[in-house]
Amino acid sequence: APHLCLGTTAQCALHLVPSGSPNQLVFRHHAKMKQLQNQINVTEKKGIPLTLSSHPNCGIMFGKLGLMKFEFVVAACLFIGGPVESSALARFSEKQEIIFDEHGGLVMRTCSNILENGNLLIATRDDCAQPRPGMAFQVNDDGSISPVEAPDLVLGFPEITTPSSEAKELISVDEPLDIVKYY
């Protein structure tokens, strides 16, 4: 198809990467975030913009998919992108959860709460009588953000690599893909 070309999206999904990786994110307002991470401050209820100093004109934002509603959980994907004015506002809870008040109180966590390199970060809210606790995060001295239980991992973007020979066996274009539907 000579009229088509390979492109990229304007936003990249937020992932966990090893601390010190060239793919780690450094936050512009990390000093203020670090100061507030262990204290409740009603004047910061709206939150601090999650803008990046490592990637100028970019920040953490909610994707255009909007909120996905499941039986007892509301979820949203988190992305790295621009413009910087679209950066999400966040604050820390008393349990060191990163909360997005302007998005209905969603909290940041990894998919399935698995703390591994490459795992995706999302924002969720449990709509039930006994919601799960969120995931605790900490602001590091270098301006990165880590899960408290995995300080060797930080927020970042996935490594872009070339497919290995084994990957060819995992991908089949002969079968239609099941696509998640958003309503």
Q: pLDDT, tens digit, for every residue of 12-53?
A: 899 999 999 999 999 999 989 888 887 765 555 678 999 999
pLDDT digits (tens, 9 = 90+) for 76-91: 999 999 889 999 999 9
Q: What is the pTM of this model?
A: 0.80
Which residue shows structure tokens 């100028």? 56
Q: In whole angstroms, how far apart are CA 95 and each of 32, 85, 148?
A: 17, 28, 11
Using DSSP's 3-state secondary structure scheme, residue 116 falls into coil
**Are the C-beta atoms of 100 and 47 separated by less than 8 Å?**
yes
Q: Please report the pLDDT score of residue 3 as a whole number.
A: 66
172 secondary structure, DSSP code = -
